[in-house]
Amino acid sequence: MLRVRCLRGGSRGAEAAHLIGAMLGRSASGWTQKLFQSTSSAAAAQTQHAVLEEHVTEPIEQQCPVSSYNEWDPLEEVIVGRAENAQVPAFTVEVKANTYEKYWPFYQKYGGHSFPEDHLKKAVAEIEEMCNILRHEGVTVRRPELNDWSQDYKTPDFSSSGMYAAMPRDILLVVGNEIIEAPMAWRSRFFEYRAYRPLIKEYFRKGAKWTTAPKPTMANELYDQDYPIRTVEDRHKLAAQGKFVTTEYEPCFDAADFIRAGRDIFVQRSQVTNYMGIEWMRRHLAPDYKIHIVSFKDPNPMHIDATFNIIGPGLVLSNPDRPCKQIDMFKKAGWTVVKPPTPLIPDDHPLWMSSKWLSMNVLMLDEKRVMVDANESTIQKMFENLGIKTIKVSIRHANSLGGGFHCWTTDVRRRGTLQSYFY
């Protein structure tokens, strides 16, 4: 009889054995065999002495395809989102709370319909070029499935149509060898996970851990239906009071409100991430990782990476318009805090779902290479002064859909190990 032992990269010491099939008088195969392999260590230990005479193969190392602990280790594989078939979300209370008054007529006109066709075509072309440049830099690029986001759907609690699969950073958080699906807060994004499931299943079959956070019902109780928002002043006042459109009815969070630095992960309470969601993550990742809540002078907190973007060990970009209230904590830890220059994007360029500060929403390819907007010459110079080579790409039309390079990607594998950078 042949017994095979297989060590999976990133596993917690489980050994595979083909003993159950022999004991039952039949061989397990396919998925059943894999299931037995992960659960039969105890049985193997009990019968170890009885099978000493059998031939045992040498352990086979299998590298887990998912491994990323921070935002700057050498990037090997990345998921890049898709703009195809993107739909403008309906102008619901949670969408209104996250958008600015100047764009409300746009949502009232296009909500539940496609983004303007010409603009969308340009965005698709820009992201394709971004993918080509990533490949040229030696990075493996993966893409979500093409979906029809215009379809209406209904749950016992709400009805909606979809949005897009453009921003994998919002829905997927990679921590070590684990992929975590976020329980996002917008109803238009309820089924967004479906575009990524084929990729996630592939990674899972190759050894990655896969966790789906509790799916929110998105019942009316999750949202402050009377959220009193009219002006920027209202936003500042509400944010200062710790009042957000999402309540604590059930856990919710967007993965993009978390940013990683080895064993320390930083998160903000935002319009889409509540304290219940943060607490779920804290318990889930303890004791190997520590979650730190940070806050900013931000009238519309939603996603941390255009406000506070960690680009290297002890090196962080901190938005000067949205100062971090806990910045002394980082300075005491010996970190270098860099304030990026004012963005150069023109006032008349539509940013329906974001701010100009996407200029600092960069993607680190490693500590010495950064993907940055080709039009933002001042931040390019800032990086060059830091000794970081800039990989210039223009995604201005893609910016309009709500994200920069960091938003449009989720890093699946970076070449590095788990370390502590925050003391």
Active site residues: 254, 303, 407
Kind and range of the H or E run holding 171: helix 168-171
In angstroms, rounded to a whole number, what is the distance separating the alpha carbons of residues 160 and 121?
A: 24
The beta-strand segments (E) located in 226-375 are 258-261, 264-267, 290-293, 308-312, 315-318, 336-338, 363-366, 369-373
In angstroms, rounded to a whole number, what is the distance separating the alpha carbons of residues 337 and 274?
A: 27
Task: Extract the tokens encoding 352.
Answer: 């329906």
Burial label for 308, CB within 10 Å (0-12, 13-18, 19+), is buried
DSSP codes, 88-156: PPP--HHHHHTS-GGGHHHHHHHTTSBPPHHHHHHHHHHHHHHHHHHHHTT-EEE-PPP--TT-EEE-S
Q: Check: CB of residue 171 under 8 Å from CB of residue 202.
A: no
Query: What is the separation of C-alpha 332 from the centre of its chain, rounded to a whole number of angstroms?
Result: 28
Tokens 């070029």 found at: 129
